[in-house]
Each structure stands twice: as C-alpha cells, then as structure tokens.
C-alpha cells in the first residue's frame, strides 16, 4: 500500500469535477516529516495518545455509520459527550475526533465504500491542540507544541526536509492545523501547506496526454517525458527489487520536464479504464499492480501540477482511442501497427501515442467522455 494513498480525512487531493465554483479558495499539500530525534519517553506518550485517538474516532465512525448520518453538520453535543464519557477524554478532543469521523464517513459514503476501518494511527490536530513556531536555538527548524486541551502537553522538535523547504520556497504557507501519526514504530508530523487557488487559465491549448511503458508520457502538443524512467521501471519489475520511493523519484523528475505554460486544458485517461499496461512483458499480476500504482501516482501528481498552474484537468475513457481516426471518424483494429498509426479509411498517419493523446483531447473538444458516447451521437460506425 503506497503511503500517499491516505489523504482522506479532509485533505483529499484535487478534484477534477467541472463544478469550479464549488472548489475551495485554497489548495493544499501535505509534507511528512519523521521525528527521529524525539526521545523515547515523549514518543511513547504521543503514540499512546494517537492510539486512543484512533479508538475514539472508530467509535464515532461506528455511531455515524449506524445512523447513516453522512451530513456535513458538526456532531451533536449528546454524541460528543457519549464519546467523552466512554473514553474519559476532554470535550474538545471528543469534538475534534467526532468531526474527523464524520469526514471519514462522508467521504466513504460518497465513494460508495463500506464502513471505514481506522487502521492508521494518524490524527488531525487543530489549533486548539497545537501551535507551530520556528525552533529557538537553531539546532532544529520547527517546534511543534502540543498544548493540552486533551492532547499531551509537550514540544516536538522538527528538522525541515527538502520537500518541506521546497514548498515553502515556492510560496506555500504552513497552516495551523497539522497531522500527527505513528507508522511502523516511527512518529511523524504532517505539515499542511496552503496557497491561494490560481484562477483557471482562459488562454492556451487543449492538450491530451497518453502514457505507456515504452514511451513514457506523450503529449499531443509534442512534448514527451519519462521514457527513460519507464524503461528503468520495467527493469525493476522484472527483478522485483524496486522500491516505490525510487519509482516516485524517477517519475517526479520526468514530471519536472513538462512545460505547462501553453496548456489550458489537459485530458488524460480515466483510471477506471486503464488496462492497456496488461500487455507489458512482465508477470501479469505484478504488472497490473505496478501499473495501477504508477498510474495513480502520476494522475495525482498531474492533478497537483494542473491545480497549481490553473489548468483544467479532464479524465476520458481511452476505449479504442489507439485505433480511432479523428479525421474520418472511423476506427479499425488494423489502424494500429506497433508504434505507427495509419488509418485504413483515409490514410492519416501519425505516431501511435500521439494519435492516442490527440484523441483524448479530441474527446474534450467533442464534449464527450468516450468514443462510445460519441459514436451514438455523432458518428455511425
């Protein structure tokens, strides 16, 4: 399970729905820093606190789920008091955890999931429980003060990471709310970084992006990136000794090569339909798992890039986009010959990946989610 998949609890990734007016005015990122210098006594206190928070949150999740209460309202006071009495915690803490439980339930319900199980010992701490300031004395960078009110009262010294400093250097500001967690015997703090959401661009190109193991990311505006990364990753998969961290760093470098300045709308494949990596050369199960993990990672990072650049991101059904000719509106299995696309009907020729990328953008131009809906409305096969 990739560590980055736990961005529920109110810090969901960027959404790609068309309801731009409902988007919050700030965009957020999370930066995780492991606290390796905290002494064992403090670490134990915080770990026990997080363990209890997990139990209390699960208790509230069970209650809300049983009541089928998926509203956005705050938990009622009677419910908060029930949790307070049962676990012997403060009202303030019970309130905060009930709020998190409601968010978790609401997100799970909206996504059609079953009742959430709180497996992670991670809690969001609002400014009632924590303050953050530069570390006095210079040995560390930040001091996270837990200030009581139901949380322990102690100070956690933090060394800033390159990731955190990078974000701060790019104009992100640290929010008052932090997340605190315990993972595999290590305590970590997640800083929440915020920035004003840029307005969506009104000028620029409508661009499609296709990705695959052979050629990496291929954009319909002519940009390509990541082909070397994909090649390296395919080597990992064969040997099965890759690390997700290494793959992330390779893909991250590839993403940095993209020039976003002329792009207004980006169309990518909807993960629901990504099956094409199945025809790769390594074991099928591993291939599928890795492909989905990589696709998820890339899609999340692309969504972040678009959010920061004011680019609208659209997900499209890639069904038959590799065999479709947008010039004559016909598709044929034979149109695709390895890396080449040549239309059997009109003779249009292109690189196969560019053709697929162009077709994703074409779908947006045609106001369609996939070729199937386009077929029924515009084209007759």
Q: Rule CB under 5 A: which residues touch Zn ion?
A: 325, 327-328, 343, 345-346, 348
355 burial via Cβ count (<10 Å: 0-12, 13-18, 19+): buried
218's CB contacts (< 8 A; 6+ apart) are: 209, 210, 211, 212, 224, 351, 353, 354, 356, 357
The residue (of 252 and 347) whose beta carbon lies closer to Zn ion is 347
- Cβ atoms of 79 and 63 within 8 Å: the answer is yes
Q: Is 127 helix (H, G, I), strand (E, B) or coil?
A: coil
Which segments of the chain does DSSP mark as H helices, in order?
40-67, 77-87, 91-110, 162-169, 227-239, 244-256, 284-309, 352-365, 371-377
Kindly state the smallest distance separating residue 350's Cβ from Zn ion, in Å.
10
Number of other CB atoms surrounding residue 343 within 10 Å: 21
Kindly state the smallest distance separating residue 19's Cβ from Zn ion, in Å.
36
The residue (of 101 and 352) whose beta carbon lies closer to Zn ion is 352
Kindly state the smallest distance separating residue 235's Cβ from Zn ion, in Å.
37
Q: Two tokens at 312?
A: 């609208």
- CA dist 368 and 117 (Å) reads 37
Backbone angles phi, psi at 185, to 5 degrees: 80, 10
Q: Two tokens at 301?
A: 């990072």
Q: Which residue has the tokens 């709020």?
A: 99
The residue (of 34 and 327) whose beta carbon lies closer to Zn ion is 327
The residue (of 297 and 331) whose beta carbon lies closer to Zn ion is 331
The residue (of 124 and 323) whose beta carbon lies closer to Zn ion is 323
The residue (of 104 and 357) whose beta carbon lies closer to Zn ion is 357
217's CB contacts (< 8 A; 6+ apart) are: 209, 210, 211, 223, 224, 225, 226, 254, 255, 258, 298
Kindly state the smallest distance separating residue 268's Cβ from Zn ion, in Å.
24
Kindly state the smallest distance separating residue 372's Cβ from Zn ion, in Å.
18
Kindly state the smallest distance separating residue 348's Cβ from Zn ion, in Å.
5
Kindly state the smallest distance separating residue 329's Cβ from Zn ion, in Å.
7
119's CB contacts (< 8 A; 6+ apart) are: none
The residue (of 343 and 360) whose beta carbon lies closer to Zn ion is 343
Of the candidates 324, 361, 317, 360, the residue with the CA atom closest to the CA atom of residue 341: 324
The residue (of 274 and 356) whose beta carbon lies closer to Zn ion is 356
Of the candidates 156, 141, 148, the residue with the CA atom closest to the CA atom of residue 127: 148
Q: Two tokens at 145?
A: 């003060």
172's CB contacts (< 8 A; 6+ apart) are: 29, 193, 194, 195
Kindly state the smallest distance separating residue 328's Cβ from Zn ion, in Å.
3
The residue (of 143 and 342) whose beta carbon lies closer to Zn ion is 342
Kindly state the smallest distance separating residue 359's Cβ from Zn ion, in Å.
12
């Amino acid at each position: 399970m990739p560590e980055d998949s736990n961005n529920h609890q109110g810090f969901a990734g960027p959404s790609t729905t068309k309801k731009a007016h409902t988007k919050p005015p700030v965009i957020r990122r999370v930066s995780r820093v492991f606290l390796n210098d905290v002494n064992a006594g403090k670490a134990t206190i915080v770990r026990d606190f997080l363990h209890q928070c997990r139990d209390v949150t699960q208790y509230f999740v069970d209650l809300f789920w049983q009541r089928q209460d998926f509203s956005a309202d705050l938990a009622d006071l009677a419910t908060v008091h029930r949790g307070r009495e049962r676990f012997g915690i403060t009202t303030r803490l019970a309130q905060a955890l009930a709020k998190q439980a409601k968010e978790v339930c609401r997100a799970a319900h909206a996504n059609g999931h079953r009742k959430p199980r709180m497996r992670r010992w991670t809690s969001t701490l609002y400014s009632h429980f924590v303050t953050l300031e530069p570390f006095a004395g210079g040995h560390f960078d930040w001091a996270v003060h837990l200030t009581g009110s139901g949380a322990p009262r102690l100070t956690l010294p933090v060394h800033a990471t390159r990731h955190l400093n990078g974000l701060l250097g790019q104009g992100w500001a640290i929010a008052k709310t932090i997340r605190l967690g315990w993972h595999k015997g290590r305590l970590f703090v997640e800083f929440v970084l915020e920035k004003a959401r840029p307005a969506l661009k009104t000028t620029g190109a409508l661009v499609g992006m296709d990705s695959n193991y052979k050629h990496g990311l291929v954009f319909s505006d002519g940009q390509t990136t990541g082909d070397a990364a994909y090649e390296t990753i395919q080597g990992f998969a064969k040997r099965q000794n890759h690390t997700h961290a290494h793959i992330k760093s390779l893909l991250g470098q590839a993403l940095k090569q993209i020039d976003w300045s002329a792009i207004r709308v980006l169309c990518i494949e909807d993960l629901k339909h990504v099956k094409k990596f199945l025809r790769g050369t390594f074991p099928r199960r591993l291939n599928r798992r890795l492909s989905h993990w990589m696709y998820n990672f890339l899609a999340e990072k692309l969504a972040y890039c678009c959010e920061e650049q004011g680019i609208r991101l659209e997900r499209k059904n890639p069904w038959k986009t590799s065999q479709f000719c947008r010039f004559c509106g016909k598709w044929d299995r034979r149109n695709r010959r390895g890396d080449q696309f040549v239309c059997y009907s009109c003779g249009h020729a292109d690189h196969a990946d560019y053709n697929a990328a162009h077709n994703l953008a074409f779908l947006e131009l045609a106001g369609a989610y996939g070729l199937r809906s386009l077929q029924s409305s515009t084209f007759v096969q």
